Amino acid sequence: MVIRIAAVGDVHLDEDVVGRFRPALEELPECADVLLLAGDLTRHGTEAEARCVAEEFGGLAVPVVTVLGNHDHQCDQVPQVVKVLEDAGITVLEGNGVVLDCAGGRLGIAGVKGFGGGFAGRCASDFGEPEMKAFVRTTTESAERLGTALRSLDCDMLVALTHYAPVPDTLVGEPLEIYPFLGSYQLGQAIDSAPTALAVHGHAHAGTERGTTPGGVRVRNVAHPVIKQAYSVFHVGDQLDTDQVSPIGQSGSQRSWS
Ligand SMILES: [Fe+2]
Ligand SMILES: [Fe+2]
């Protein structure tokens, strides 16, 4: 029993990019059961940019599930952006989950944008000024919602979808100074609180593709500048947790628009 998951993040669409992903996206049914988008779909989070995302990722032959990224919040038009995406048939997660019936079983996806804060031994703490407490509590609440969503899904395979990173492994290549703004160990703890098979995130454009949570969950940074292709394909299953294993998956995953 295998479920095939295509994923990409940080596509940062505007009118000049529309159409570049589409040829590879049309091939998705050959290599994937679902497409996950790991946030930063737009550059500045405008409704007009969201319409570009809807045009590029709407109407595909596989379900599309997304979280938003920090860029998608920039113009304070999140409700409008979400509506445009949902009208295009894209499922937008924020602290909740969805279960999809795939040929290989029921796939549970829990998603949250996440937030920063840093990683064990080098993290912000809920102490001092109200502003610092608010920063850290934003992350804590986000991680708690992710954990609750993960543990609540009734499914055969479980995937966590975030924009911010749950581990530092996939940030290697980014300046150390900005790690606290790229993710939080609390997201990793949430992922480890459930039998998660795969965790997918974006946001770290200069990071590294592969990592692992302290609990052993496979983490993949699918930011487009990292994977340098339209999407990567991951297989999860009873005894098969692999990246891009099938000839069809390799073909699809290697398609690049750059
Ligand atoms: Fe980004
Ligand atoms: Fe981002």
pTM above 0.85, yes or no: yes
Q: CB atoms < 10 A from the CB of 257, how many?
A: 15
Where does the pLDDT of residue 30 fall: very low under 50, low under 70, confident under 90, or very high at 90 and above? very high
pLDDT tens string 166-199: 999 999 999 999 999 999 999 999 999 999 999 9
Amino acid making up residue 37: L
pLDDT tens string 96-151: 999 999 999 999 999 999 999 999 888 999 999 999 999 999 999 999 999 999 99
In this predicted structure, what is the pLDDT of residue 240?
57
pLDDT at 67 over 60: yes
Q: CB atoms < 10 A from the CB of 182, how many?
A: 26
Between the CA of residue 208 and those of 169, 202, 251, what are the distances in Å?
A: 7, 10, 22
How much distance in Å is there from the Cα of 247 to the middle of ligand 2?
A: 31
Closest CA to 69 of 164, 160, 145, 144: 164
For the CA of 69, the nearest ligand: 2
For the CA of 10, the nearest ligand: 1
What is the C-alpha to C-alpha distance for residues 32 and 249, in angstroms, rounded to an integer?
A: 7
How much distance in Å is there from the Cα of 164 to the middle of ligand 1?
A: 10
Q: CB atoms < 10 A from the CB of 26, how many?
A: 12
